[in-house]
Structures are given as structure tokens and as C-alpha cells.
């Protein structure tokens, strides 16, 4: 029997709230890669928010009972509240200095009626290469193969 | 039901014909032919033209392969095609990507999250 979904109603309600409040954000990292078909694993959903002080972001969080926790010391900012533990807030993406440029080139994917903006796989690869951490190096080959697979199957329906 | 390419190849060989020659004589484009091969709904007019040239009835072209087996076979053909186009790709990476692309995005994400809890390699 399948285990319960980790990303379910509560998690989706946050993305819906971000959409309804027109918050400029992107899902990035391996969560975004997975949504594009990459056979990788992840433990969280990274959200790159253009401006954490944006009143729309604060309003979106409040509408679903989430709380913004500002970063302190070496701890990054976070979203608190039941059902939102999977989300991590990203302030900067290595190799991608301009949020607005990436947002304008976002790939939108529909999840249960919510239009979710993703960082395209090619940009995830760019960022992983720039970050160059050990865990980034481990997944680069997979991501590059996925990109080639997507190129080869563009416009084709899966068998 | 769909066309079995192996049956077509056998018929072509027996008649000393190439696929291009068959399609040209039948007035069927390669695109239409590959559509016939990949889809389960047949286009009667194109089938009629092809069977007329080959001198067989439509049943002679139809596959008796189980849909699930056909799905795997078509996927493997696509893996090989992608490996041909990109020789440095890993077949497993391509195969697993194609399998994931058959699933809804939310299912992909939840699968990755479930597996992520049991591994140290994560984003």
C-alpha cells in the first residue's frame, strides 16, 4: 500500500495562497527538478521568494496560518506551522543573480489547479554547477541526462 | 489494436520491398505511418492502402502484443533512440525519467520526498 502523500492539502494550500496573493516566487532545487521528471530524491521544497519583506508574501502566509520566522545567526529564514515543514526559503541561487530574470523565464506546471512557477531544469543545472557542493556534483549527471531526455522527447507523447 | 512493425517488416522482406517504397506506393506519409504504429486507434484509409500494396488483409498487420508489454517495448525503443542521439547519457537515467514523465507531477514529487527521507543525498 502506498504511504500517505507528504506533499498534500496543507502544502498545496500555501502554494495556492502565494498564487492568489500574486507573490513573485519560484520553486527551485531538486523539488523543481522532480516536478520536471528528474529521478532524484529530495527532503524539502525550496522556495525562492523575490522579497521576503513583500506584504503580499506576509499576507499569503497569514491566510493559511503560516508564520514567517526571520533568520538569525547561521539559521536561514523559515516558514513555521503545521504542514509547512517541507518548505525551505531560499534567498540566493548560486549562478543566478537576478530573480526577476529567472521569474520571467519560469516554467509553470499545474498541480491540483494551482499554477506553480518552477526554475527550468537548465537553470537548476547552472545553479548546481555554480554551487559546486559535493551533493550538487552527485546529481549533476542525472540532471544533465534528464535535460537531454526532455530535449529528445519534446513534442512527443510518452509511450 | 495497432500495427505490429515486425509483421510489416516480415511482409516487406517477403515482397522484397522497403518501408519507404511501400509508403510511397500507398501514398501514406512516414508521419502518418509512425502515428499508426504508436497509436491504438487505426486510420482505416491508410491501413487499406498499405494492405492493398502488400496483398494482405488488415489482420495480417495487427499486433497481438499485450498493451503493457507494448508500453515497455516502446519505452525501451525510445531509450535506445535517445542514447543514439546522446551517446553519453546513462540508459537508467533516461528510462527512469520516461517512467516518471508518465506520472502526474504531484506523484513524482511525493515519490521523491518519500525516498528523500531515507537517503542522505538531498537538495
State how far the alpha carbon of A49 is from the alpha carbons of A4, A22, A71, A106, B108, in Å: 28, 12, 14, 13, 23
Could you tell me how many CB contacts below 8 A there are between chain A and chain B? 118
Chain A hits for B96, CB-CB cut-off 8 Å, are 39
Dihedral sign, Cα of residue A55, residue A57, residue A63, residue A66: negative
| Cα distance between residue B47 and residue B13, in whole Å | 18
Task: For residues A104-118, give the mean pLDDT.
Answer: 96
The pLDDT value given to residue A108: 97
Residue B71 pLDDT greater than 90, yes or no: no
Q: What is the pLDDT of residues A3-41, one digit of tens each?
A: 567 888 999 999 999 999 999 999 999 999 999 999 999
Residue A81 burial (10 A CB sphere; 0-12, 13-18, 19+): middle
Q: Would the pTM count as exceeding 0.95?
A: no
B40 touches chain A (CB under 8 A): no
Task: For residues B68-94, give the mean pLDDT.
Answer: 92
| Cα distance between residue A130 and residue A128, in whole Å | 5
The ipTM (two decimal places) reads: 0.86
Task: For residues A50-67, give the mean pLDDT.
Answer: 95
Helix ranges restricted to H, chain B: 5-14, 19-26, 30-38, 44-54, 67-85, 91-101, 105-116
* Position B122 confidence tier, pLDDT thresholds 50, 70, 90: very low
Residue A110 · residue A84 · CB < 8 Å: no
Q: What is the pLDDT of residues B89-111, one digit of tens each?
A: 999 999 999 999 999 999 999 99
Contact across the interface for A148 and B90, Cβ inside 8 Å? no
- Is residue A45 within a helix (H) or strand (E), and if so which, with residue range? strand A45-49
Chain B hits for A47, CB-CB cut-off 8 Å, are none
Q: How far is CA B98 from the centre of its chain?
A: 13
Contact across the interface for A42 and B116, Cβ inside 8 Å? yes
What's the gap in Å between the CA of B76 and the closest CA on chain A? 10
What's the gap in Å between the CA of B15 and the closest CA on chain A? 30
Chain A hits for B115, CB-CB cut-off 8 Å, are 41
Amino acid at each position: 500500500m502506498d504511504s500517505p502523500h507528504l506533499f498534500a492539502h496543507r502544502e498545496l494550500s500555501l502554494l495556492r495562497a502565494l498564487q492568489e496573493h500574486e507573490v513573485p516566487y519560484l520553486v527551485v532545487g531538486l523539488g523543481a527538478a522532480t516536478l520536471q521528471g528528474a529521478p532524484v530524491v529530495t527532503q524539502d521544497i525550496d522556495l525562492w521568494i523575490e522579497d521576503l519583506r513583500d506584504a503580499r508574501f506576509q499576507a499569503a502566509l497569514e491566510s493559511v496560518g503560516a508564520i514567517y520566522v526571520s533568520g538569525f545567526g547561521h539559521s536561514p529564514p523559515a516558514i513555521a506551522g503545521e504542514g509547512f515543514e517541507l518548505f525551505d526559503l531560499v534567498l540566493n541561487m548560486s549562478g543566478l543573480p537576478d530573480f526577476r530574470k529567472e521569474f520571467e523565464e519560469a516554467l509553470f506546471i499545474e498541480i491540483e489547479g494551482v499554477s506553480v512557477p518552477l526554475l527550468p531544469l537548465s537553470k537548476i543545472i547552472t545553479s548546481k554547477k555554480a554551487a559546486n557542493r559535493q551533493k550538487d556534483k552527485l546529481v549533476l549527471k542525472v540532471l544533465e541526462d534528464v535535460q537531454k531526455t526532455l530535449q529528445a522527447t519534446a513534442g512527443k507523447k510518452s509511450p | 489494436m495497432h500495427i505490429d512493425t515486425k509483421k510489416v517488416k516480415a511482409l516487406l522482406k517477403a515482397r522484397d520491398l522497403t518501408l519507404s517504397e511501400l509508403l510511397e506506393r500507398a501514398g501514406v506519409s512516414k508521419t502518418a505511418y509512425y502515428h499508426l504504429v504508436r497509436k491504438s486507434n487505426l486510420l482505416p484509409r491508410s491501413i487499406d492502402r498499405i494492405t492493398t500494396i502488400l496483398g494482405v488483409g488488415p489482420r495480417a498487420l495487427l499486433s497481438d502484443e499485450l498493451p503493457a508489454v507494448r508500453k515497455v517495448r516502446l519505452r525501451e525503443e525510445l531509450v535506445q533512440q535517445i542514447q543514439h542521439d546522446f551517446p553519453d547519457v546513462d540508459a537508467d537515467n533516461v528510462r527512469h525519467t520516461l517512467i516518471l514523465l508518465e506520472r502526474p507531477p504531484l506523484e513524482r514529487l511525493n515519490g521523491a520526498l518519500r525516498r528523500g527521507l531515507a537517503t542522505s543525498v538531498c537538495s
